[in-house]
Amino acid sequence: MKTKFFFPFLLCSLVWFSSCNNEKDGTGTARMEVRMTDSPGDYAQVNVDIRSVQIHKESADDGSGWITLDEVHPGIYNLLDFANGRDTLLASANLPAGRISQIRLLLGDDNSLILKDGRKMPLKTPSGQSSGIKLKIDADLVEDVTYMVLLDFDAAKSVVARGNGQYNLKPVVRTLTQAIAGGIKGKVTPAEYQPGIYIISPANDTIGGFATSTGDFLIKGVPAGTYRVNFYTQNHEHDKTLENITVTQNQIKDLGTVELSH
């Protein structure tokens, strides 16, 4: 059985389409999110106590290279709750753009196995309790792009019988990093109109934001697809619509200068 941990980097938090204000200034960051999923297995429960998640980056400000994700959902997760494609968010954070090399899961002491006959057995994880479970995820993060790090946790191989009725947790995990959403940026003129900006999918799902006082705009977290972009001004006197704007999942689409009607 395999469990997938999902860590995207999201600059505006969203999983599906949702209203999301633009970041008005360039941040030089990408955002990561962590999710988990699994397939049915030979146990009633495989419970993993996840306390913290860290990413390794050589240029980290603290000099150690390890950055702790600041939006973590600690808790005891039963891997088997996430079968058949279901997943759950474990952690997310804005991270500096650039190269990341490793991810580390810090585990607590309450890891356990529930056998099908109802017996509860402790899962010993010496490495996870001390320095953490370290995994390679070599990837380059582009500014403002949304990323997912998928940790494919093979629970069947990770639970090891010790031969004395006890069990160890020795995680076997495959990692996959990919961009999952891009964005749209540009500049409106005249800047004083400061329009509201709506990015609308063919299904009429909408992500929105506003231009700044200088006319700049950046809408992040836009999944790949083709959109209609509406610019709404006060009293709708200077509205404008752009059709067939294509966004890819690994870049920010630059619309350049958008002239609103006078």
pLDDT score recorded for residue 14:
29
pLDDT (0 to 100) of residue 150: 78
Distance CA 113, CA 115 (A): 6
What local confidence, expressed as pLDDT, does residue 17 receive?
31
Give the model confidence (pLDDT) of 10-53 as tens digits: 333 222 233 334 444 345 888 777 666 554 457 888 898 999 99
Whole-number percent of the chain with pLDDT over 90: 37
DSSP 83-149: -TT--EEEEEEEEESEEEEEEEEEE-S--EEE-TTS-EEEEE-HHHHTT-EEEEEEEEEPTT-EEEE
Reply yes or no on whether the pLDDT at 158 is more than 70.
yes
> What does the buried/exposed string (b/e) look like for 85-100 if buried means 16 or more CB atoms within 10 Å of the residue's CB?
eebebbbbbbbbbbeb
How far apart CA 100 and CA 65 sit, in angstroms, is 9
Task: Give how far the C-alpha of residue 51 lies from the chain's centroid of Cα atoms, to the nearest Å.
Answer: 18
pLDDT level of residue 124 (50, 70, 90 thresholds): confident
pLDDT of residue 122: 92
**170 within 8 A of 133, measured Cβ to Cβ:** no
In words, the CATH class of domain 182-259 is mainly beta
pLDDT tens per residue, range 53-99: 999 987 655 557 899 998 999 999 888 777 666 777 888 999 889 99
Q: What is the pTM of this model?
A: 0.74
Q: Is 167 helix (H, G, I), strand (E, B) or coil?
A: strand
Weakest mean pLDDT among 103-117, 185-199, 218-232: 103-117
pLDDT reported for residue 10: 35
Q: What is the pLDDT of residue 11?
A: 30
Q: Rounded to the nearest 10 degrees, how much is the dihedral formed by the CA atoms of 125, 127, 131, 134? A: -100
Confidence (pLDDT) at 9: 42
Using DSSP's 3-state secondary structure scheme, residue 80 falls into helix
Is cis: bond before 96, omega within 30 of 0? no
Residue 130's pLDDT band (boundaries 50, 70, 90)?
Answer: low
> In the chain, where are the structural domains located?
2-180, 182-259
pLDDT for 246 = 96
Instruction: State residue 1's pLDDT score.
Output: 52
